[in-house]
Amino acid sequence: MSELKPIDLGIAGDGIVIRNAPVPTLVEEALANCEGVLSDTGALVVETGKYTGRSPDDKYIVDTPTIHDEIAWGKINRPISKEGFDAIKAKMLAYLQNRDLYVFDGFAGADPKYTQRFRIVNELASQNLFIHQLLIRPTEDQLEGFTPDYTIIAAPGFKCIPEIDGVHSEAFIGIDYEAHLVLIAGSQYAGEIKKSVFSVMNYVLPKKGILSMHCSANIGDAGDSAVFFGLSGTGKTTLSADPSRKLIGDDEHGWSDDGVFNIEGGCYAKCINLSAEHEPEIYGAIKFGTLLENVIVDENGKPDYDNGSLTENTRAGYPVNYIPNAAIPGVGGQPKTIVFLTADAFGVLPPISKLDNDMAMYHFVSGYTSKLAGTERGITEPVTTFSTLFGAPFFPLSPSVYATMLGKKLTETGAKVFLVNTGWCGGKAGTVPRMKLKYTRAMVSAALAGELDDVEYTLDPIFNVNVPKTCPNVPSEILDPRNVWTDKAAYEESAHTLAKKFEENFKKYTDMPANIVNAGPKA
């Protein structure tokens, strides 16, 4: 399992390095280290402490002359000096002295032409289990002579001192693109490791002419790939895990001239209110080898998926092959259908609408949704947000780089684009139930099957999208939110308020052509 030594990782001391251990060994190590307990199905259950979601205020990019002009600096991509990063690195490596370490060497990018090699160094066996399951696992032959393109060191036990280290809190997620190194300190939330890989790929892939996307993807029997964009909590994992289609991946993909490929080798599903009835594929994937984060279990190890007392952002990490109909390897042809997912807390966006290419570009750049409770620290109820490209926290380059590539792909492939509201309809969040999953599934299935190609549409006068009058297996009256709101004046007020938010947000994109600007909502 290991021919590496601490010194090979730049770490002093006589600790043991366990490299690419099999799943049973990692589970055994985690249990021996008291990192977690087993569920009744054999999943490893851990609590991640105060950090139960990503911590975007603690993320930094090293600002060097080489990359300075490439990065879209701002509130999301915060700079840190090379000296500041290296000082934290030195302290982290000193902290890891003489500790036993867990290393996973593996791949990101299922298309071998665009694969990147990653080395993940973990303080915790449970986090190493997670990334072992989430990335693409190498063969023994591939491990021979393995040299990483990027290294990630995750030490949740090391806490920064903000006043000394010049950072926001005890947590730190820092990327040095020039040194090909990522540091993660202070947070045990495993999603920080996964999203750090994604942030690296979002820097690397566009340079190779590949559109990197925060999306899930699946493929039908006829080879018809579909892509689902959306922020966490909007339904990417749930809707792509369709028993009638093969799952390519649930969260991160590249789109090349050959088609779509999964960046990962695993899935990271939300577990709150999970049930075998509504999400059987995900429910069945929670077994030995899966990591469960912040799920409450009883004395017999039975999970209570309805219990959000630690966080609403309960999670399960498992390899994609735990989904029975996964596409292995995770590659598909050119997508025929693109779905933008949003969870509208205003309750006014149509449940499904069809977009022309200008509308599609507008909504891709806008990336509207309501952040759901627990996805990020401090979010306790739905909050309206616009996240460029449906994943702004993970994209280091200018949004125009990715948007231009998407526009080119839509033109080349003729893919159909739909905007699907998986949130609320008929009232604001908290006043009415969320959209029934069975209706959302039916709408998505109809879009993928081409059953919405020839139906009659009306143009929504406020949101400027094409709304179908009918959809198989969906009550026609819910397709237009106006019909569902009992207080029509309240609908008009809420709809115009949201449209105004769209307009205000889009003003910051000063270089957008008029045809795209005019394709948005009209307050």
pLDDT of res. 242: 86
Residue type, 204: V
> Which residues are designated catalytic?
54, 195, 214, 232, 236-237, 251, 315
Give, in degrees to the nearest 5, the angle at Cα 205 between 200 and 210: 150
Q: Is the pLDDT of residue 373 over 70?
A: no
pLDDT of res. 86: 98
Q: What number is the average pLDDT over the span 506-512?
A: 89
52, burial (CB in 10 Å: exposed 0-12, middle 13-18, buried 19+): buried
pLDDT of res. 115: 98
Q: For a pLDDT cut of 90, what percent of the chain falls above it?
A: 88
Residues 6+ apart with CB under 8 A from 147: 117
DSSP-assigned states of every residue in 23-51: HHHHHHHHHHTTS-EE-TTS-EEE--TT-
pLDDT of res. 464: 98
Q: Is the pLDDT of residue 187 over 80?
A: yes
pLDDT of res. 339: 98
Residue labelled with tokens 């060497």: 105
pLDDT of res. 137: 98
| Rounded Cα distance, 130 and 220, in Å | 29
Higher pLDDT, 429 or 274: 274
Higher pLDDT, 234 or 458: 458
Length of the chain: 523
Give, in degrees to the nearest 5, the angle at Cα 25 between 23 and 28: 110
pLDDT of res. 381: 61
Using pLDDT thresholds of 50, 70 and 90, give the confidence band for residue 93: very high
Longest alpha-carbon distance in the chain: 71
The answer to whether 20 touches 105, Cβ cutoff 8 Å, is yes
Using pLDDT thresholds of 50, 70 and 90, give the confidence band for residue 241: confident
User: Closest Cα partner for 312 from 242, 375, 268?
Assistant: 375
pLDDT of res. 379: 61
pLDDT in tens, 330-371: 999 999 999 999 999 999 999 999 999 999 999 999 999 987
Q: What number is the average pLDDT over the span 79-86?
A: 98
Q: Is the pLDDT of residue 387 over 60?
A: yes
Joined tokens for residue 156: 């949740």
The answer to whether 136 touches 264, Cβ cutoff 8 Å, is yes
| Rounded Cα distance, 496 and 498, in Å | 5
